[in-house]
Amino acid sequence: VMIEYCHTLDEDTIEVSKSVSPLENVISPGDDVRSGQPVLRRGRHLRPQDIGLLAGLGISRVEVTRRAKIAIISTGDEVVDIHTRPLPGQVRDVNRYSLSAFCQALGAVPFAMGRCKDEFEALKEKIGQGLEVADSVWISGGSSVGTRDLTLKVFQALGEFELLVHGISISPGKPTIIGRVRGKPVIGLPGHISSALVVAEVFLAPFLARLSGLEQDQEPFGGRVTAEMSRNVESASGRDDYLRVRLVRQGDRLKAEPIFGKSGLISPLVEGHGLVRIHRNKEGLYEGEQVEVRLFEWMPFFMDGAS
């Protein structure tokens, strides 16, 4: 009986002011966890409530998968330190910090290897160092087919290289390289930050999830919601377009507003809540069409916070 329903009449007698059913407010053995019952299965992310359950069972240590280590290299003669005022034709090293934060948000450990000029031997040395300290190496910039795009050539020169993908039929993010060097995954990302982060969200988030031991039915992203398109959007067939959207609540409906901008711009990423995939067999989306919004891991969207 809960103490607030008990009243002392004398030293030997209490009055209970509420009727009580048998075993009400009583936790019996096996009510919470039965003997021999599995409580946490392999391949799931440990949440605060999971840690609490383990503590309640007197378990202070469990085997976990080691956090993935990712070496991140920014390339390009035009890339300068973020504390430097860029001259015409130069850009600050945004990708290094954005990709490092992306890794941290997904539980990986980033190793920022610094900037590298468009020089073959310098990039080869930098990637070699990354392979020594990390499980995977990501290079931003230099993944296309221009004369100064050295990433693929350096991968090949490192030896024991297996090319899996060079060019993906998505927009943004087409000039992406995926391969293996000496058995370790290597990724060549586009230099534009918006393209690099779309590739990271679409391909590298599930990659990190698998590398971290998550089972395939565990959602590695920030989540997904269904919304209505706020306007018509055109798309070129033959490739998957990933459209940045802002989520806005209108009455009891959730609207997805497209955010347009050039691939080198950062502000559209900050304004957006997630991505909508336009399938390669479609030529666009219609106003009012139901779409699935893939929420950004680095900017969780709270339904009650939409405006």
Q: Are 245 and 251 in contact (CB under 8 A)?
A: no
* Position with higher pLDDT, 19 vs 137: 137
Same fold, 69-211 and 224-305: no
Q: In this predicted structure, what is the pLDDT of residue 263?
A: 65
Domain definitions of the chain by residue range: 69-211, 224-305
Predicted structure pTM score: 0.82
Q: How far apart are CA 72 and CA 109, in angstroms?
A: 10
The 3-class SS string of 217-241 reads: CCCCCCCEEEEEECCCEECCCCCEE
Give the DSSP letter of residue 45.
P
Buried b / exposed e along 137-170 (16+ C-beta atoms within 10 A): bbbbbbbbeeeebbbbebbeebeeeeeeebebeb
Measured CA angle at 266 (ends 263, 271), to 5 deg? 110
pLDDT digits (tens, 9 = 90+) for 167-188: 999 999 999 999 999 999 999 9
pLDDT above 70 covers what percent of the chain? 93
Give the tokens for residue 136. Answer: 């995977």
Instruction: Give phi and psi for 54, each to the nearest 5.
Output: -60, -40
224-305 is classed CATH 2.102.10.10:
no
Q: How far apart are CA 280 and CA 253, in angstroms?
A: 27
Instruction: Return the CATH architecture of domain 69-211.
Output: 3-Layer(aba) Sandwich (3.40)
pLDDT-wise least confident of 49-53, 128-132, 176-180, 303-307: 303-307
Range 274-285 average pLDDT: 93
pLDDT digits (tens, 9 = 90+) for 65-97: 999 999 999 999 999 999 999 999 999 999 999
pLDDT digits (tens, 9 = 90+) for 184-224: 999 999 999 989 999 999 999 989 988 888 876 665 556 88
